[in-house]
Amino acid sequence: MTKNVHVNKWIDEMAAMTQPDKIVWIDGSEEQAEALRAEACSTGEMIKLNQEKLPNCYLHRTAVNDVARVEGRTFICTPTKEEAGNINNWMEPGECYAKLSKLYTGSMKGRTMYVIPYSMGIVGSDFAKYGIELTDSIYVVLNMLIMTRVGNNVLEALGDGADFIKGLHARADIDEENRYICHFPQDNTIWSINSGYGGNVLLGKKCFALRIASYLGRKEGWMAEHMLILGVQYPNGDIKYISAAFPSACGKTNLAMLIPPAIYQNLGYKVWCVGDDIAWLRVGKDGRLWAVNPENGFFGVAPGTNEKSNPNALHTTMRDTIFTNVVHDVDNNTVWWEGLDNNPPKNAIDWKGNKWDYTKYDKKDKSTCGAHPNSRFTAMATNCPCISSEFNNPTGVPISAIVFGGRRAKTAPLVYQSYNWQHGTFVGSIMASETTAAAAGAVGVVRRDPMAMRPFVGYNMGDYFAHWLDMGKKIPNAPKIFNVNWFRTDDEGNFIWPGFGDNMRVLLWILARCAGEVDAVETAIGYVPKAEDINIEGLNGITVDTIKELLTVDVASWKEDVANIREFYAQIGDHVPAELYEELDALAKRLG
Ligand code: GTP
Ligand code: SPV
Ligand code: MN
C-alpha cells in the first residue's frame, strides 16, 4: 500500500470498473509468493512439479486459443493515426477506452485484483522506469515476480510522483474475439483483456519495455530495443559487449547464453549474458552507447532447448521456473518438450492437457507436438550459470557492436558489416525474417521486420527510423552495425551453418572489425569477411568453401529484395527519412 494519491486514485477507478471481490498488494516477499503458488495449485491453475528434480518449479497451461502474442489485436492508441503509423493497428484513444471499459466492467467479480508495483531496471537507477500492473491472474503475478523487480521498494522509489506506467490486465473470458492489447503512450497506460499469455499479459515486457518505452525513448533521447546483450571475455580478461536484435524465436536467448566451442574455451574465452530479449540504450558521458537489460528474468522458448544447444538456458530452468504449455511427464512429475532429448515420456500429458502418445509424434506435423512450438519457460536471470557480473550494474555495459539478424533461407549472408551508422540504420530497417510460432498467424512466411521491432514500436515506424538516425549523431563513439544470418539452407532445406555455440566464430570476427584488427571485402551490401577470417578449426564438415558459400551475395535475390523494400517503405509512408531512400537507391545502384 502507498500514500501516493495518483496510484490510489487510479486503482480506485480501475477497481470500480472491474469490481473485484478483493484487492491484494504484491509486496515482493517470498511468503506471499509461496502462498500464491499454493493457491494456484489448489485451483489447478498451476501444477507443482517434482521438487527434488525441479525445486520451486511449476507447470501452467494456457487456453488452447491463447498461445502467443496477437499482433492483429494489438493497438497503439495515439490521438492521431499518423502518430501510430501504418504498421501499427490504431484506435482513437477515446473510442478504445470506451470499448474496453465495457469489457472490463464487472470482469473481476468473484476474483481478486492483484496490485503489482514493479521496476524495469534497477530500482533507483537512472535507467529505471516504474510500472504498476493490476491483474486478476496469479499466473501473471508469479511471472512478473520473476521477470521484473517487484516490491515495496518500487513504491518507495516512486514516492508521491505520478511517473509510472498504469497497466490493467483482466483475463475476462479468454475470448479471442474480444482480446485486446492496447497502448496509450500519451497516458502511460496499457490495457490488456481476454488473454493469459506471455507478451499479451506480462505488461512490463513487450507492452511497457518496448512499445511504451520506445515512445518515451524518442521523446527523451534514448532507445528501447528488442535486443539481447552479451559480453565476450578474451583470454586477457577484457570484455567487449554486443547487443543483437533478432525477431521473436530467431535465436536471441540462444546467442545470449552462448557457450564457446572447445577451441576457444581452451584458450580462456568466455561469454556472459546481460540480457536475452530487451535492451535500453543511452549515450554515456564517455560518448559510448550503454545498455541495460530492464528485465529480471527470461521468458524463453522451450522447444529446441537442450544440453547441447543451450545448456545454460537448460540449467537456468532447473529451479524457480514456471513452464508454460510444455509436456507433463506424469510418472516423474517433470516436464519435456520437442528437442529436449530423445526420450519422450511414455505417460504424458500434452500442452492442451490431453493424454499424449509420443509414438504418433511426426516432426513435420506441428499438430502432433506434445509441447506447443511457442511453449516457454519463465526463469530467473540470477539462476543463469553465465549471468554477467554487470547484470545488476545500474549504469549497464558499453556496446561495441550492434547486430541485426533474421531467418533468411537464401538472401542474407552469414555476416556483413554496414559502412557507417546511417547505412547500419538502413540495414536494420530492411531486416526480414521468416515468421515463427511466437506470434499468432502463418509460420515460415518472409516478412519485413525492421530492427526486429515491427510488432513493438509504439509510434510511427518512419519516425522510429528517424530516431535511429538522430541517435547516431548523438553518439560520438557509436557501435559498429552488423547483420547476421544463422539460417541459410542448402537445396534440401538443411541449415548450412552449425549455429549455436559456433556463432562465437562470427562474433569474434565482428569484434575484430570493431577493433580494426581484420580486413574485409567490400560488396554491394556491405563489408563481408574474407572466408579464411572465419575460424573453422574444429568444425566437422565445414570447409573454407562452405564459408564462401555462406558469404556469397546473391545479386539476383538482392535485386528482388530492393523492389520489396521499396514497397515496404511505401507502406510505412511518408515518414520514412530521405536518408534511407538515399541508402536504398545507392544499394540498387551498387547491385547494378
Ligand atoms: P523470443 O523469446 O521469442 O524473442 O525468441 P529468441 O529470439 O530469444 O529465440 P530463441 O533463442 O529462443 O530461439 C528460437 C529458436 O531458434 C529455437 O528453436 C532455437 O533452437 C533456434 N535457434 C537459435 N539459435 C540458432 C542457431 O544458431 N541456429 C539454428 N539453426 N537455430 C537456432
Ligand atoms: C517474443 O515473442 O518476442 C517474446 C515472447 O519474447 S513474448 O513475451 O510473448 O513477447
Ligand atoms: Mn522477444
- SS3 of 134-174: the string is EECCHHHHHHHHHHCEECHHHHHHHCCCCCEEEEEEECCCC
516/581 same-domain check? yes
What pLDDT does 434 receive?
86
Residue 205 Cα to ligand 2 midpoint, Å, equals: 8
DSSP β-ladder status, 480-484 and 415-417: antiparallel
Burial of 328 (0-12, 13-18, 19+ CB in 10 A): buried
In a domain, 249, yes or no: yes
| 277 and 305, same domain (yes or no) | no
- Longest Cα pair distance anywhere in the chain, in angstroms? 68
Q: Choose one of 139, 140, 147, 277 to mutate for the ligand 2 pocket test, by most ligand atoms within 8 angstroms of C-beta.
A: 277
User: Which cell numbers hold the place of 414?
Assistant: 552469414
Look at residue 410 in the predicted model and tell me its pLDDT: 87
The three cell numbers of residue 431 are 531486416
On whether residue 50 sits in a domain, the answer given is no
Closest Cα partner for 56 from 529, 378, 274? Answer: 378
Decide if 63 is inside a domain. no
Residues 437 and 307 in one domain: no
d(CA 554, CA 123): 49
Q: How far is the CA of 247 from the centre of ligand 2 (A)?
A: 9
Ligand 2 atom closest to Cα of residue 198: 9
- Rounded to the nearest angstrom, the distance between the alpha carbon of 206 and the centre of ligand 2 is 7
Nine-digit cell string for 495: 541449415
Instruction: For residue 276, report the distance from its CA to the centre of ligand 3, in Å.
Output: 8
- For residue 229, give the H/E element and its range: strand 227-233
Domain assignment present for residue 244? The answer is yes
Q: Is 54 inside any structural domain?
A: no
Q: What pLDDT is attached to residue 438?
A: 83
User: Is residue 519 included in any domain, yes or no?
Assistant: yes
Give the residues of the chain that fall short of pLDDT 70: none
Question: Among 60, 169, 206, which is best to mutate for testing ligand 2, by the most ligand atoms less than 8 A from CB?
Answer: 206
Q: Whose CA is nearest to atom 5 of ligand 1?
A: 249
DSSP 387: B
Please tell me the residue having the least CA distance from ligand 2 atom 3.
248
Residues 18 and 106 in one domain: yes
Q: Are residues 202 and 280 in the same domain?
A: no
447 strand-pairing partners: 433
Which residue has a Cα nearest atom 5 of ligand 2? 199
**Whose grid coordinates read 549471468?**
387
Among 192, 220, 248, give the residue marking a domain's end. Answer: 220
For position 373, which CATH number holds? 2.170.8.10
Q: Residue 361 has what pLDDT?
A: 86
Instruction: Tell me the three cell numbers of residue 568.
Output: 515496404
Contact assessment for residue 357 and residue 327, using Cβ atoms and an 8 Å cutoff: no
| Region for residue 174 given its phi and psi (left: phi exceeds 0; alpha: psi -120 to 50; beta: otherwise) | left
Per-residue confidence (pLDDT) for residue 237, from 0 to 100:
98
* Final residue in a domain of this structure, among 349, 383, 417: 383
Q: DSSP assignment, residue 478?
A: P
**Residues constituting the chain:** 592
C-alpha closest to that of 300 among 345, 255, 245, 233:
255
Tell whether 585 and 436 lie within a shared domain.
yes
Copy the grid coordinates of residue 29.
516477499
DSSP state of 450: G
Q: What CATH number corresponds to the domain at position 163?
A: 3.40.449.10
Residues 257 and 289 in one domain: yes
Answer yes or no: do 328 and 463 share one domain: no
**Measuring CA to CA, which residue among 297, 353, 343, 340 is closest to residue 320?**
297
Of 190, 220, 250, which one is at a domain's C-terminal end? 220
The whole domain housing 339 covers: 298-383
Whether residue 454 is contained in a domain is answered as yes
Beta-carbon contacts of residue 585 (< 8 Å; ≥ 6 apart): none
Q: What is the CATH number of the domain that holds 445?
A: 3.90.228.20
- Dihedral angle of Cα 398, 399, 400, 406, to the nearest 10 degrees: 170
What pLDDT, on the 0 to 100 scale, is given for residue 437? Answer: 83
Residues with active-site annotation: 250
For residues 262 and 169, membership in a common domain is answered with no
- Are residues 31 and 120 located together in one domain of the fold? yes
Kindly calculate the radius of gyration of the chain based on its CA atoms and give it in whole angstroms.
23
Residues 165 and 234 in one domain: no
Q: How far is CA 495 from CA 308, 309, 431, in A?
A: 17, 14, 19
DSSP 3-state of 7 = helix
Residues 94, 202, single domain; the answer is yes
> How many domains does the chain fold into?
3
Q: Which atom of ligand 2 is nearest to the CA of 439?
A: 2
202 phi/psi in degrees, rounded to 5: -85, 85
Euclidean distance between CA atoms 39 and 56, whole angstroms? 14
Residues with CB under 6 Å of ligand 2 are 69, 198-199, 205-206, 248, 277, 299, 438
Which atom of ligand 2 is nearest to 206's Cα?
A: 10
- Ligand 1 atom nearest 500 alpha carbon: 27
Q: Give me the helix-helix angle, 578-591 and 421-429, nearest 10°.
A: 80
What region does 304 belong to: left with phi over 0, alpha with psi -120 to 50, or beta? left
CB of 246 closer than 8 Å to CB of 452: yes
Burial readout 19-51 (b: 16 or more C-beta within 10 A, e: otherwise): ebeebbbbbbeeebbeebbeebeeeebbbebee
- Please give the C-alpha separations between residue 446 and each of 89, 409, 526, 553, in angstroms, as whole numbers: 20, 10, 22, 18
Q: Is residue 57 part of a domain?
A: no
Q: Check the CA dihedral 311-290-499-71 and report its sign.
A: positive
Q: How far is CA 502 from the centre of its chain?
A: 22
Choosing from 227, 229, 253, 433 the residue with most ligand 1 atoms within 8 A of its CB, the one to mutate for a pocket test is 253
Residue 364: predicted pLDDT = 80
Question: Where does residue 163 rank: exposed (0-12), middle (13-18), buried (19+ CB within 10 A)?
Answer: exposed
What's the pLDDT at 95? 98
Task: Give the number of other CB atoms < 10 A from CB of residue 263.
Answer: 14
Ligand 3 is a single-atom ion; what residues have CB below 5 A from it? 248, 277
